[in-house]
Amino acid sequence: MFCIRHIGSNFLRAFKVPHLQKLVVNIGYSRTVEEYNINYKRLEERGEAYARWCDDIGLRHWVLAFDEGHRWGHMTTNLVECINSVLKGARNLPVLALVRATYYRLNELFTRKSAEAHERKRAGFTYSVFAQKRIETNMQQAGNIVVHQFDRRNEVFEVRDMASGKVSVVDLARRTCDCGHFQVERLPCRHVIACCANQRLDWQLYVHDVYKMTEIRKVYRFEFTPLGDPDTWPAYEGPTLVANPALRRTSKGRPKSVHPLTASPSMGRPNI
């Protein structure tokens, strides 16, 4: 899975057309095939070269509608991007200081997140903040939806949004909805909640376990071991590493901004 931020940056670098960068990002965020086709057609009309460039990436690597739910609705999946705010301040330190800073910053992050998850669970919340807010919003919007039952045994429904007039098909058994949000985020969208209310079903059955506080607490239960004083560390036994002088930072000009844990700043941001 590729990071949409990098794809947008690479597109801009390749074609120098900033007014189309947002359209490329929208293609990546397309949650349904229909939405993808509309956005892709708009890009193709502005130049076949732009569309061919996107084709070379591969749909399942960057478009939500084709990733089979592996992204959970997120488009920044690069590990360094996810923890960039934690590590970026340590990027210009010497190696030993950088490792130490990274270690302690991650320890602080896990300790804080673990405490927050524990407190939220103790306060009686079942789901994460994101899931809770999304569900509450969908509940408010579900009141304007009319449900027509088509297949009770297979849990297939047709719903009409009275505000927009748009018709969607909901398949609870397969956990899909024409809006795309149900299968992408694995949370009950407003159409699913409307169907559950109409049929007196429990919408919580359609919330994936990954959003439950019991599961989130497991993520941050890992504990870091104190490093102690370097004088107490065991003697190193292994290969001797020699720095490549060709990758040394230039002493002239303004240093380039890079992400932590990547190659030398002189190499710039890695291509996707």
| 8-state DSSP, 47 | -
- Residue 212: strand pairing partners: 127
Given this model, what pLDDT does residue 271 score? Answer: 39
Q: Is residue 248 part of a domain?
A: no
Last residue of a domain, one of 206, 236, 267: 206
Q: Is residue 236 part of a domain?
A: no
Cβ neighbours around 248 below 10 Å, total: 10
* Structural domain of 187: 129-206
Given this model, what pLDDT does residue 250 score? Answer: 66
Q: Is residue 74 part of a domain?
A: no
Average confidence (pLDDT) per 10 residues, the chain, 272 residues: 87 95 95 94 96 94 87 70 68 80 88 94 95 96 91 84 92 94 94 94 95 93 87 88 79 56 40 40
Q: Is residue 153 part of a domain?
A: yes
Last residue of a domain, one of 66, 82, 102: 66
Given this model, what pLDDT does residue 12 score? Answer: 95
Given this model, what pLDDT does residue 262 score? Answer: 44
Q: Is residue 57 part of a domain?
A: yes
Given this model, what pLDDT does residue 269 score? Answer: 39
Q: Is residue 72 part of a domain?
A: no
Q: Is residue 77 part of a domain?
A: no
How many domains is the chain partitioned into structurally? Answer: 2
Q: Tell me which amino acid residue 101 is.
A: A
Candidates 123, 21, 29; CA nearest to 71 is 29
Last residue of a domain, one of 153, 181, 206: 206
Candidates 21, 135, 31, 129; CA nearest to 73 is 31
Q: Is residue 103 part of a domain?
A: no
Q: Can you give the pTM of this predicted structure?
A: 0.73
Residue 193 · residue 205 · CB < 8 Å = no
Residue 157 · residue 145 · CB < 8 Å = no
Given this model, what pLDDT does residue 4 score? Answer: 87
